[in-house]
Amino acid sequence: MSKMTIGIFGGGQLGRMMAQAALPLNIQCTFFEANTDCPSAVLGQVISSQDQDGLQQFTKSADVFSLEFENTPLADVDQLTQSKQIYPPRQALAIAQNRLLEKSLFDELDIPVAPYRAVDSLESLQQAVSDLGLPIVLKTATGGYDGKGQFVLKNETQINEAWAELGAAKSLIAESFVQFNREVSIIAVRGQDGEVRTWDLAENHHHHGILSHSIVPAPNSLHLQPIAEEYITRLLNHLDYVGVLTLELFVTEQGMFANEMAPRVHNSGHWSIEGAVCSQFENHIRAVAGLPLGSTQTIRPTVMVNIISQYPKTESVLALDSAHLHLYDKSEREGRKLGHITLTPKSKDELTAQCRALSQILPESLALNENMQIEI
Q: Are residues 188 and 172 in the same domain?
A: no
pLDDT interval class at 149 (50, 70, 90): confident
280 assigned binding-site residue: no
Domain for residue 357, yes or no? Answer: yes
Q: Are residues 357 and 218 in the same domain?
A: yes
150 assigned binding-site residue: yes
Q: How many independent structural domains does the chain possess? A: 3
Q: Are residues 265 and 329 in the same domain?
A: yes
Taking only the tens place, the pLDDT of each residue in 139-148 is 999 876 656 7
Look up residue 38 and give its amino acid. C
d(CA 26, CA 5): 9
Which uninterrupted H or E stretch holds 285? helix 280-289
266 assigned binding-site residue: no
- pLDDT on residue 359: 84
- pLDDT on residue 191: 98
The residues facing 273 across adjacent strands are none
Any residues with CB less than 8 A from the CB of 276 and at least 6 apart, and which?
A: 199, 295, 296, 297, 298, 299
61 assigned binding-site residue: no
Taking only the tens place, the pLDDT of each residue in 311-329 is 999 999 999 989 999 999 9
243 assigned binding-site residue: no
231 assigned binding-site residue: no
Q: Are residues 149 and 239 in the same domain?
A: no
pLDDT interval class at 207 (50, 70, 90): confident
Q: Are residues 246 and 318 in the same domain?
A: yes
Cβ contact 65:80 at 8 Å: yes
176 assigned binding-site residue: yes
Q: What is the pTM of this model?
A: 0.94
348 assigned binding-site residue: no
Rg (CA), the chain: 21
CATH number at residue 53: 3.40.50.20
Q: Are residues 172 and 188 in the same domain?
A: no
Length of the chain: 376
254 assigned binding-site residue: no
CATH number at residue 125: 3.30.1490.20
| Residue 300 Ramachandran class (φ > 0 left, ψ -120 to 50 alpha, else beta) | beta
Q: Are residues 308 and 186 in the same domain?
A: yes
Expressed as residue numbers, the domain containing 169 is 115-176
Q: Is 179 exposed, middle or buried (0-12, 13-18, 19+ CB in 10 A)?
A: exposed
Q: Are residues 194 and 231 in the same domain?
A: yes
Q: Are residues 252 and 280 in the same domain?
A: yes
Domain for residue 97, yes or no? Answer: no
Domain for residue 101, yes or no? Answer: no
Q: Are residues 239 and 357 in the same domain?
A: yes
Q: Tell me whether the omega of the peptide bond preceding residue 263 falls within 30 degrees of 0, making it cis.
A: no
99 assigned binding-site residue: yes
Examine the fold and report which residue of 66, 86, 106 is the final residue of a domain before the chain moves on: 86
Examine the fold and report which residue of 158, 176, 194 is the final residue of a domain before the chain moves on: 176
207 assigned binding-site residue: no
Listed as own residue / partner, the contacts of 102-106 with beta carbons closer than 8 Å and 24 or more positions apart are: 102/260, 102/261, 103/173, 105/235, 105/238, 106/258
146 assigned binding-site residue: yes
Q: Are residues 198 and 156 in the same domain?
A: no
Domain for residue 213, yes or no? Answer: yes
206 assigned binding-site residue: yes
259 assigned binding-site residue: yes
Q: Are residues 301 and 355 in the same domain?
A: yes
